[in-house]
C-alpha cells in the first residue's frame, strides 16, 4: 500500500456534498412553481405566462423555464433576441415573446427561431412585414402600446392606423405595461386601464395583456387574456407594504473562511471605516461585490448595514464590502456557529430579497439579477 499524502487524505475525508465554492445559491423550483400556480389562480380565466428574462431573474433560465413549462406555463417573455434563441432551444413548443421587439437587422433570426417580437414602432412593423414577405407568410408578433411608461410602444391615439398597418403581419397579442401597479391607489392605474381598453377595441379577437406581477393583485382585476408575472414568480413581493404572498425561491449562503478576535479600537477593512466599540469577534465570509452583493450594504457607524444569519442570530456587516469578502460582527452569535468553515445565510426565509434591497438602497429586482456566477448553484426540483 502506498503512502497517502496529506492532500489525498484531506480529499478523502471531504464531504462530497459540500461545494468547494465559498458561496452557495439554492433555488427552490418547487416554490417557483407554487408561485406561478398561485398567480395563475388569481388571474382567473386569463392565461398565466412568465417573464424569464435576465437569465430567469438571475436564477438560471434553463432550470426556471423547465420547471415552469413542466407546471403548464406555455407563454414566456424574454428581453432580446439572444435570450429568445436560448429559450427556444430549451422549449421548442412554447410561445416566446421578445420584449425588445425587432432590433435592426434581427428579423431573419427572430423568424428562424419562431420568436414573436413585441413591436412598438413603424420601423419595426415594416421590417417584420418585409421579413414575412420574403418568407412567403405573415409573421406573428405582439403589438405594444405605450399607455404611460414612455419607454416603448405605439401611441394609443394611433391605434386605428396601427391596426390597419398590422394587417401585413399576424398580431397574436396586444399589450402594454403598468407604471405603478405596485401602488394600489395610484391614479395612473385607472388611466392606463382605460387607455388600454380603448386600444384593445381596435384589435377585436386578438388576446390582450397588461398585468405584471403587481397588476395581478390590483382590485380592478386587469387580467384581460394573459398575465405576465416576473418578479413575483421569484419570491419578490408584488404587494409592497403588505405581507409577501409569494414563497421565497432563492437562498444564498456563504462560508466563513476566517474568524478572529479584535480589541476595542481596532478597525476592519479598507479605509478603516468601522471601529470595534469593544472586544469583538469578527468573521470573514467568501463573497463580495464581484458576486453581486451590493457594496452599499457596507457596515459603518451611523448607517444601515447588510446582515447575515449566524446560528439563528442576525450579525451585521462591518467595514467595506470588498470584491471577494464581507466581514461580519459575530460577537453575539453562538461560538459553535461562528467558526471557520461554517455557513451563514445572506438571503432566504429570514432575510427576504426586499429586506436586503432596502439595506442596500436598491430594489429586489437588482439584487436577484446581479447574483454572481461564482456561486455553487443547487436546484430543488418541484
Which sequence positions are flagged as catalytic?
Answer: 53, 270
Give the separation between CA 229 and CA 215, rounded to whole angstroms. Answer: 8
E strand or H helix that includes residue 285:
strand 280-285
Other C-beta atoms closer than 10 Å to the C-beta of 260 total 12
Q: Is the dihedral of CA 13, 16, 20, 21 positive or negative?
A: negative
Contact 30, 381 (CB under 8 A): yes
137: Cβ contacts below 8 Å, ≥ 6 apart: none
DSSP character string of 169-180? SEEEEEE---SS
The single residue listed with the C-alpha cell 484531506 is: 10
Side-chain half-sphere exposure of 11, counting CA atoms within 13 A: 5
Give the separation between CA 141 and CA 208, rounded to whole angstroms. Answer: 12
Q: Is 347 exposed, middle or buried (0-12, 13-18, 19+ CB in 10 A)?
A: buried
Give the separation between CA 318 and CA 338, rounded to whole angstroms. Answer: 15
SS3 125: helix
End-to-end CA distance of the chain: 46
User: Quick one: cell of 150?
Assistant: 414612455
E strand or H helix that includes residue 131:
helix 122-135
Specify which residues 78 forms β-bridges with: 98
Q: Is the dihedral of CA 275, 277, 279, 281 positive or negative?
A: negative
Give the separation between CA 233 and CA 249, rounded to whole angstroms. Answer: 8
Amino acid at each position: 500500500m502506498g503512502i497517502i499524502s496529506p492532500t489525498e487524505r484531506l480529499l478523502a475525508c471531504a464531504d462530497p456534498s459540500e461545494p468547494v465554492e465559498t458561496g452557495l445559491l439554492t433555488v427552490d423550483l418547487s416554490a417557483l412553481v407554487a408561485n406561478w400556480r398561485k398567480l395563475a389562480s388569481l388571474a382567473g380565466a386569463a392565461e398565466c405566462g412568465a417573464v424569464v428574462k435576465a437569465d430567469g431573474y438571475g436564477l438560471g433560465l434553463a432550470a426556471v423555464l423547465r420547471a415552469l413549462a413542466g407546471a403548464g406555463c406555455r407563454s414566456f417573455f424574454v428581453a432580446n433576441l439572444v435570450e429568445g434563441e436560448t429559450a427556444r432551444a430549451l422549449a421548442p413548443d412554447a410561445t416566446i415573446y421578445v420584449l425588445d421587439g425587432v432590433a435592426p437587422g434581427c428579423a431573419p433570426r427572430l423568424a428562424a427561431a419562431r420568436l414573436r417580437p413585441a413591436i412598438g414602432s413603424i420601423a419595426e412593423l415594416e421590417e417584420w412585414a418585409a421579413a414575412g414577405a420574403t418568407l412567403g407568410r405573415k409573421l406573428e408578433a405582439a403589438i405594444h402600446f405605450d399607455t404611460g411608461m414612455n419607454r416603448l410602444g405605439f401611441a394609443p391615439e394611433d391605434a386605428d392606423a396601427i391596426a390597419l398597418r398590422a394587417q401585413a403581419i399576424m398580431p397574436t397579442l396586444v399589450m402594454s405595461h403598468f407604471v405603478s401597479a405596485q401602488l394600489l391607489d395610484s391614479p395612473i392605474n385607472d388611466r392606463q386601464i382605460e387607455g388600454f381598453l380603448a386600444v384593445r377595441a381596435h384589435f377585436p379577437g386578438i388576446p390582450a395583456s397588461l398585468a405584471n406581477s403587481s397588476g395581478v393583485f390590483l382590485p380592478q382585476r386587469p387580467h384581460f387574456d394573459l398575465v405576465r408575472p416576473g418578479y413575483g414568480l421569484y419570491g419578490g413581493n408584488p404587494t409592497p407594504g403588505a405581507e409577501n404572498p409569494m414563497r421565497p425561491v432563492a437562498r444564498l449562503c456563504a462560508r466563513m473562511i476566517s474568524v478572529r478576535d479584535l480589541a476595542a479600537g481596532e478597525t476592519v477593512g479598507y479605509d478603516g471605516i468601522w471601529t470595534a466599540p469593544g472586544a469583538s469577534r469578527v468573521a470573514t465570509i467568501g463573497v463580495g461585490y464581484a458576486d453581486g452583493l451590493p457594496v452599499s450594504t457596507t457596515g459603518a457607524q451611523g448607517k444601515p448595514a447588510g446582515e447575515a444569519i449566524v446560528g439563528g442570530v442576525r450579525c451585521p456587516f462591518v467595514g467595506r464590502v470588498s470584491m471577494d469578502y464581507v466581514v461580519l460582527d459575530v460577537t453575539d452569535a453562538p461560538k459553535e456557529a461562528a467558526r471557520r468553515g461554517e455557513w451563514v445565510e445572506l438571503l432566504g426565509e429570514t432575510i427576504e430579497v426586499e429586506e436586503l434591497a432596502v439595506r442596500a438602497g436598491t430594489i429586489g429586482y437588482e439584487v436577484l439579477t446581479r447574483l454572481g456566477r461564482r456561486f455553487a448553484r443547487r436546484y430543488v426540483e418541484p
